[in-house]
Chain A
Amino acid sequence: EDKVVQSPLSLVVHEGDTVTLNCSYEVTNFRSLLWYKQEKKAPTFLFMLTSSGIEKKSGRLSSILDKKELFSILNITATQTGDSAIYLCAVGETSGSRLTFGEGTQLTVNP
Chain B
Amino acid sequence: DAGVIQSPRHEVTEMGQEVTLRCKPISGHDYLFWYRQTMMRGLELLIYFNNNVPIDDSGMPEDRFSAKMPNASFSTLKIQPSEPRDSAVYFCAASQGDRSRQFFGPGTRLTVL
A interface residues with partner B (beta carbon < 8 Å): 31-32, 34, 36, 41-45, 48, 88, 90, 92, 96-104
Bound-state CA distance A108–B23 (Å) is: 31
A100 cross-chain contacts in B, Cβ below 8 A? 45
**What DSSP secondary structure best describes chain B's contact surface?**
strand
Minimum CB distance partner of B45 in chain A = A98
A97 touches B106 (CB 8 A): no
Minimum CB distance partner of A103 in chain B = B42
B50 touches A42 (CB 8 A): no
B interface residues with partner A (beta carbon < 8 Å): 4, 31, 33, 42-45, 48, 50, 55-56, 91, 95, 98-99, 101-107
**What DSSP secondary structure best describes chain A's contact surface?**
strand
Extra contacts besides A41-B107, A88-B43, A100-B45 (5): CB < 8 Å? A36-B104, A97-B95, A98-B45, A99-B45, A101-B43
Known contacts A32-B99, A41-B107, A42-B104: A97-B31 contact under CB 8 Å: yes
Closest Cβ–Cβ distance, residue B34 to chain A (whole Å): 12
A96 touches B56 (CB 8 A): yes
